[in-house]
Amino acid sequence: MKSFEIDLPLFDYVYPNDIVCGVDEAGRGPLAGPVFAAAVILDPSRPIIGLRDSKKLTAERRELLAVQIKECALAWSIAECSEEEIDNLNILQASMLAMKRAVEGLSMLPTLALIDGNRCPVMIVRAEAIVKGDDKVQAISAASILAKTARDAALHILHAQYPLYAFDQHKGYPTALHMERLRLHGVSPVHRKSYAPVRAMLAEL
């Protein structure tokens, strides 16, 4: 029988027969587009070299690792919360909901979800939050990579729909380029209207 323990570090709440999934989100800070989350159960017999926090990897390396993760993991799932859900719930609750959806979308049920950060969504499985877990636990690193690459792909699709905003370049983050395009072209249907810079722009109308 396979052991589902994570390699290092060994936490006192991980039991020998735990089926561990790592969970992370991508896209809390941007002014536009959905927030994404992923959950991954790694296969101990098929290790993936180079897993780490997705923000510390190049885009090319993330894409290569994402393919490996999908090929080698025992199970993986990607979920999202829309801009409308973010505006209705707030970004924290929307992120929690996206992570819950990702875990519930796995093809096998884990016994423990290790969540990057300091909060856990309410789920049917046991959960533990790990601050900076995306650089400490490989399953969370894998989830970080899947969430980030999925969100980047979604922003390229939004760029095709709304090319004036250059979503392919800034991915929705409040860069100087993004703010310039917002001032020039106004708020698009995929902007998060509850975020202060977007809200302020709408108030000026």
Task: Identify the pLDDT of residue 17.
Answer: 86
Assess if residue 32 is contained within a domain: yes
Task: Identify the pLDDT of residue 4.
Answer: 41
Assess if residue 11 is contained within a domain: no
Element (H or E) spanning 22, and its range? strand 20-26
Task: Identify the pLDDT of residue 19.
Answer: 94
- pTM of the model as a whole: 0.93
Task: Identify the pLDDT of residue 14.
Answer: 73
Flag residues of the chain having pLDDT under 50: 1-8
Amino acid identity, position 175: T
For 30-52, how does the pLDDT look when each residue is reduced to its tens digit (9 = 90+)?
999 999 999 999 999 999 999 99
Task: Identify the pLDDT of residue 16.
Answer: 77
Assess if residue 123 is contained within a domain: yes
Assess if residue 105 is contained within a domain: yes
* Number of compact structural domains in the chain: 1
The CATH number of the domain holding residue 123 is: 3.30.420.10
Task: Identify the pLDDT of residue 11.
Answer: 64
Assess if residue 10 is contained within a domain: no
Q: Which residue range is the domain that position 180 belongs to?
A: 20-203
177 touches 164 (CB < 8 A): no
Assess if residue 12 is contained within a domain: no
